[in-house]
């Protein structure tokens, strides 16, 4: 063992653990109500959802009969819609009450599997080349830069050849109006995500024609 490296590793793991604890307790706090308002952290969620959900769904590539992985699925704002077209949806969230609520709303669709898991967990077992579409809406902002890099690299591996990654994130500043005691959300510049995706594709020697990515940023909606 390289004794000189141990303290550095310990510090790095410590930072990762703190990030996980902070983000988990943030979502435990904000998911108590299990409502669309809590999922979108906005008192105007019902109205926003009516406009935004069809808009986002319209941007997705065709997933008719295909396998879809939905990360940070929440109470299922998108899960039911995805299941209407998809062959199969694996919906995942790290708050148990949230994914159970999703199951209570959407569980009548027998093509959905619900999973309680943290997307950053090294124990998350998802097979390589197993999904046609990986979808997330407002998830990566709750991961550190390093966690985003690792997750995106994994997403690329989980995709089948010709698959698509779609993620949508808030950038620059807070958008929803809900009161927050603390806010550990990472509001980044869009170029961070572009860089991470390009790095993951280059590192894995996969050309952009093999994996298509759609990065959707929400900052425009909230700029006056």
Ligand X SMILES: C[S@@+](CC[C@H](N)C(=O)[O-])C[C@H]1O[C@@H](n2cnc3c(N)ncnc32)[C@H](O)[C@@H]1O
Chain residues that interact with ligand X, rule: CB under 6 A: 23, 27, 31, 39, 72-74, 77, 93-95, 98, 118-120, 137-139, 142
Contact 73, 91 (CB under 8 A): yes
Nearest-approach distance from CB 151 to ligand X, in angstroms: 9
Least distance from ligand X to the Cβ atom of residue 79, Å:
9
Which C-beta is closer to ligand X: that of 57 or that of 206?
A: 57
| Cβ nearer to ligand X, comparing 42 with 85 | 42
In angstroms, what is the minimal distance from the CB of 101 to ligand X? 10
Label each residue of the chain as H, E or C. CCHHHHHHHHHHHHHHHHHHHHHHHHHHHHCCCCCHHHHHCCCCHHHHHHHHHHHHHHHCCCCCCCEEEEECCCCCCCHHHHHHHCCEEEEEECCHHHHHHHHHHHCCCCCEEEEECCCCCCCCCCCCCCEEEEEEECCHHHCCHHHHHHHHHHHHHHEEEEEEEEEEECECCCCCCCCCCCCCCCCECHHHHHHHHHHHHHHCCCCCCCCEEEEEECHHHHCC
Provide the minimum distance between the beta carbon of 66 and ligand X in the complex, in angstroms, as a whole number: 19
- The smaller minimum CB distance to ligand X, of residues 26 and 192, is found at 26
Give the residue nearest to ligand X (CB).
Answer: 74
Nearer to ligand X, 47 or 202 (CB): 47
Min dist CB 34 to ligand X, Å, is 10
Instruction: Tell me whether residue 77 or residue 88 sits nearer to ligand X (CB atom).
Output: 77
């Amino acid at each position: 063992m390289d004794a000189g490296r141990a303290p550095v590793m310990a510090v790095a793991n410590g930072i990762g653990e703190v990030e996980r604890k902070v983000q988990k307790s943030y979502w435990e706090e904000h998911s108590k109500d299990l409502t669309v308002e809590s999922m979108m952290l906005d008192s105007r969620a019902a109205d926003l959802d009516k406009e935004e959900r069809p808009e986002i769904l319209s941007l997705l590539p065709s997933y008719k009969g295909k396998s879809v992985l939905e990360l940070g699925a929440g109470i299922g704002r998108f899960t039911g819609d995805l299941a209407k077209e998809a062959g199969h949806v694996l919906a995942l969230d790290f708050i148990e009450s949230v994914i159970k609520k999703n199951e209570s709303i959407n569980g009548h669709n027998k093509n959905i599997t619900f999973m309680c898991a943290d997307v950053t967990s090294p124990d998350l077992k998802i097979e390589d080349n197993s999904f046609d579409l990986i979808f997330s809406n407002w998830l990566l902002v709750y991961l550190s830069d390093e966690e985003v890099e690792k997750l995106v690299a994994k997403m690329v591996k989980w995709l089948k050849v010709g698959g698509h990654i779609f993620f949508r994130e808030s950038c620059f500043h807070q958008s929803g109006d809900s009161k927050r005691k603390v806010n550990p959300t990472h509001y980044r510049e869009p170029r961070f995500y572009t860089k991470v995706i390009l790095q993951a594709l280059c590192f894995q020697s996969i050309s952009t024609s093999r994996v298509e990515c759609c990065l959707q940023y929400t900052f425009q909606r909230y700029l006056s």
